[in-house]
Chain A
Amino acid sequence: METLFTPYQALGGGALIGLASVLLMWTHGRIMGATGILAGFFTPSSLADWSWRAAILLGMVSAPVAYLLVSGNMPAFNVPVSTNMLVIGGLIVGCGVTLGSGCTSGHGVCGMARLSPRSIAATLTFMLTTAITVYIVRHILGM
């Protein structure tokens, strides 16, 4: 499925992702990593620890509705893969981000911005394996 190149939305949206990362470190002293925030939500160290995680997750989930109120449309959303691939992919993502201590937001944005060698290595690794996987799925298996 073709998608349009959207440079302005990409730059603007990316800047907001970066801004949220900076604000969370400035106010709470925390890394804006989706994996860490989600995992800690289920295994919090205290009520205070749980509540800021819950508030962030709630903010994230309410974003599409805020987007709808401002623009009049829901964000573009097309899932070009089967339910089996979503579920298998989700399980694999969950295992990988737990072992690898982070995902695109935690390593790819926050860690890289701190010039952390671990995050730079992790980001290069997952970008490469994602591209290889997409190549295999689309061009070898033809799914």
Chain B
Amino acid sequence: MKIVTAYIIGLIFGLGISISGMSNPAKVLNFFDLAGSWDGSLGLVMAAALIVAFVGYKLVFAQNKPIFDVNFYVPANRKLDVKLLSGAAIFGIGWGISGFCPGGSLPAIGNGSIEIIQFTIALIAGIFLAKAALKLFTKTAPNS
């Protein structure tokens, strides 16, 4: 039941991404191209997703625990740091170059195009590269 629910949630997410245009790099890049062929659609995607999630989370967090687990896995850290902000800044550069964010690219794999396979392999390589670099860094600088 837990697995079936997860599959359906993935499907709903993927349909939302597909319908909204978040998996279409041409549309995504145009949202950020204020000086050129601007398309404001993605602003509405973010707004609608946020409103639904904000209200829904309020209801969910009124419960003691999720249905299939003993507790909610929510990050407790609320402090800003250089790692967070530099990571976010770097992500934006990659998003601006490629037109894909991870959430947009994963459902697009189902389109079966060669471009999305190329991007996804690079994305996964980047994740492992950064994980390895972080490990190295925390080993050489134990006080950080």
Contacts and interface: CB of A to CB of B under 8 A. Distances in A.
Interface of A: 1-7, 9-35, 38-39, 42-43, 51-53, 55-67, 74-81, 83, 85-101, 103-105, 107-114, 116-118, 121-123, 125-139
Contacts of A132: 92, 96
Contact of A89 (B4, B15, B94, B104): B94
A125 B71 contact: no
B91 A126 contact: yes
Nearest to B77: A118
A10 B91 contact: no
Contact of B87 (A59, A77, A101, A110): A101
11 contacts: A29-B72, A31-B75, A60-B109, A64-B107, A76-B21, A77-B111, A87-B119, A96-B130, A98-B126, A129-B96, A133-B32
Interface string B1-29: 01111111111111111111111111101
A118 B22 contact: no
Given A14-B44, A61-B106, A63-B18, A89 B119 contact: yes
B136 interface: no
A135 B36 CA distance: 9
B26 A1 contact: yes
Q: Is the interface of B mostly helix, strand, loop or mixed?
A: helix
Contact count band on B: 35 or more
Contacts of B10: 20, 55-60, 62-63
A143 B85 CA distance: 27
A80 B92 contact: no
Contact of B39 (A5, A107, A130): A5
A55 B77 CA distance: 28
B26 A90 contact: no
A126 B11 contact: no
Given A34-B101, A86-B118, A100-B84, A75 B124 contact: no
